[in-house]
Amino acid sequence: MKSLLKRLFLIVFINFIDQNIAFLFSKIFIIIPLTFLAFSFYVYKSDKNISPLEAFSFGLFVDLISDSYFGLNTIIFCLTTYLINQNANSFKLFSYLQICLFFGLSASTYVGFSQLIINLYDFSYKTLLLSLFANIIFCFFVALVASYFPKKLSIKL
Amino acid sequence: MARAAPTPGQKLSFIFFIILGSLFLYIDITSNNFQSIKNGFKSFKISSFYIAKEISIEPLKSIVNLSKSKIKLVEENKDLKEALEISYLNNYLVSKENIFFKDQEIIKKTHNENNYKFEYDIAYLRSIDPNMYKCCDKHRMFIEIKQNSDNLYVESIVFNTEGLVGQIIDENKFYEVLLLTDISHSLPIKLNSSEFFCNAKGSGRSEYIICSYNPLVWTEEIKKNQIFYTSGLGGIYPKDIEVGYVSSIENIDSTQTKIKIKLLANPLNGNMFGVLKY
């Protein structure tokens, strides 16, 4: 229960940051889906497989707090969870570069999908492409920080 | 530790939830069925934000505001007090009971009738030893003039809202004021009738000056509570300013009588003074 509340609180907090930085980055045609990346990272780092119900619930909760269509984050969270669960052992053979590329690509897939749903008439390939580069760079940056970040300070979920 | 790949059952669950999610998405896009949930959550978010703000930030804000308003009030109070003191000083200059109103020559210098600007300087009390003032011979006070012009202030008269206090005798960082009660101070005074003049010396006691005279020379009868005015003979103080009243009369011998005059002005009352070059 405590762990669930901690995860929910983190999701709310990251979503809050996400919504605030989205406004700034939108001026330079970049979307960095922090909430999605945070959830993906949680599924990736988890010792056991994340159940589809958990992914569905988190997706629904994110839909609620981010005021998007119900089902938008739910579908992508379920798909990502499935993909990560499927390839969890393969990831151990991958380098950081490959993992960063995977998460960067999945983040830009999220951007593309959400743009198709919520912004179909103003869909921009420029935003998609710039977001792809930005997300890959962001993932590199996070990986770099994580490798130098003291293990004692890391949050256990 | 290795993670097991999703079992067929889990895969089916994933497919089920993805289809369920898609259904939700379709319903939400095509209808407003979830709008009430969203609105409810929004209202919950707003109200909880306000409650959290009310509990956490508002008390701190109110404390800060309270201290700020308190500081502001103190400053305003100080300003008002200062303005009031200045108005009292102005009032002292224009009041009908003293020379500044009667003497047209002085009024030309000090009082501009149109906008009530007085050509005197405001000074703040910087130091006075009340114990020395109450007990001893040397009664001095140090003042600082608010807008120090290039004027020379030595021999300027110093007054407060009650009346004359003394004269400036030295200027340094602050101006040294020789009070009327200092034993080295001598003030030429007279009665209103202008038939009695004497030099009142400082008594060394607070609020009193002493006038010694020869009753054989000055035959005018002096009564208790009679008011004394400046005579203007010394050249420092203008004439006809009310100084004080007779407190007691002591006949020392047939050739000497001492009159104790209680001064109207006490330099310990108030922190602001007027400095007027006469």
Taking a C-beta distance cutoff of 8 angstroms, is the pair B163, B263 a contact? yes
Test A71 with B11 for CB contact under 8 angstroms: no
Whole-model pTM?
A: 0.52
Q: Do the chains contact at B17 and A74, CB–CB below 8 Å?
A: yes
ipTM confidence:
0.86
- The CA distance from A58 to the nearest CA of chain B, in Å, is 12
Q: Minimal Cα distance from B1: which residue of A?
A: A47
How far are the Cα atoms of B101, B194, B222 from residue B191, in angstroms, in the given order? 19, 5, 9
pLDDT tens-digit readout, B65-124: 888 888 999 999 988 988 888 888 877 776 655 556 555 555 455 545 544 445 678 888
Give the count of alpha carbons within 13 A of A63, CB side only: 26
Q: How far is residue A76's CA from residue B181's CA, in Å, rounded to a whole number?
A: 95
What residue spans define the domains of chain B? 45-278
**What tokens were used for B171?**
């200027």
Of the listed ranges A8-12, A74-78, B127-131, B259-263, the least confidently predicted one is: B127-131
Bridge-based pairing state of the strands B197-202 and B208-213: antiparallel
pLDDT tens digits for B256-276?
A: 889 999 998 888 887 888 888
Put simply, whether A9 touches B (Cβ < 8 Å) is: no
Dist. CA B31–CA B41, nearest whole Å: 18
How far is B156 from B64, CA to CA, in rounded Å? 47
Of the CATH numbers 2.40.10.350, 3.40.50.1010, 3.40.228.10, 3.40.50.11820, which one belongs to the domain with range B45-278? 2.40.10.350
